[in-house]
Chain A
Amino acid sequence: SQTIHQWPATLVQPVGSPLSLECTVEGTSNPNLYWYRQAAGRGLQLLFYSVGIGQISSEVPQNLSASRPQDRQFILSSKKLLLSDSGFYLCAWREGEGEAFFGQGTRLTVV
Chain B
Amino acid sequence: AQSVSQHNHHVILSEAASLELGCNYSYGGTVNLFWYVQYPGQHLQLLLKYFSRDPLVKGIKGFEPEFIKSKFSFNLRKPSVQWSDTAEYFCAVNAQTGANNLFFGTGTRLTVIP
Interface residues on A, range: 20 to 34
Tell me, in angstroms, the Cα distance from A104 to B45 when the chains sit together: 12
Interface residues on B, range: 20 to 34
Among the listed stretches B62-70, B73-81, B97-105, which one makes contact with chain A, having 4 or more residues with CB under 8 Å of it? B97-105
Q: Kindly state whether residue B51 has any CB partner on chain A within 8 Å.
A: yes
Given A36-B104, A94-B100; A43-B44 close (CB under 8 Å): no
Say yes or no: B101 contacts A57, CB within 8 Å.
yes
Say yes or no: B43 contacts A46, CB within 8 Å.
no
Among the listed stretches A9-17, A62-70, A71-79, A95-103, which one makes contact with chain B, having 4 or more residues with CB under 8 Å of it? A95-103
Q: How many A-B residue pairs have CB under 8 A?
A: 54
Tell me, in angstroms, the Cα distance from A111 to B51 when the chains sit together: 43
**Cβ contact of A49, chosen from B36, B46, B101, cutoff 8 A:** B101
Tell me, in angstroms, the Cα distance from A107 to B97 when the chains sit together: 33
Taking CB atoms, residues of chain B closer than 8 Å to A83 are none
Q: Which residue of B lies closest to A104 (CB)?
A: B43
**Cβ contact of A100, chosen from B6, B46, B106, B107, cutoff 8 A:** B46
Hey, what's the 0/1 contact readout for A32-57 against B, CB within 8 Å counting as 1? 10101000011111100101000001
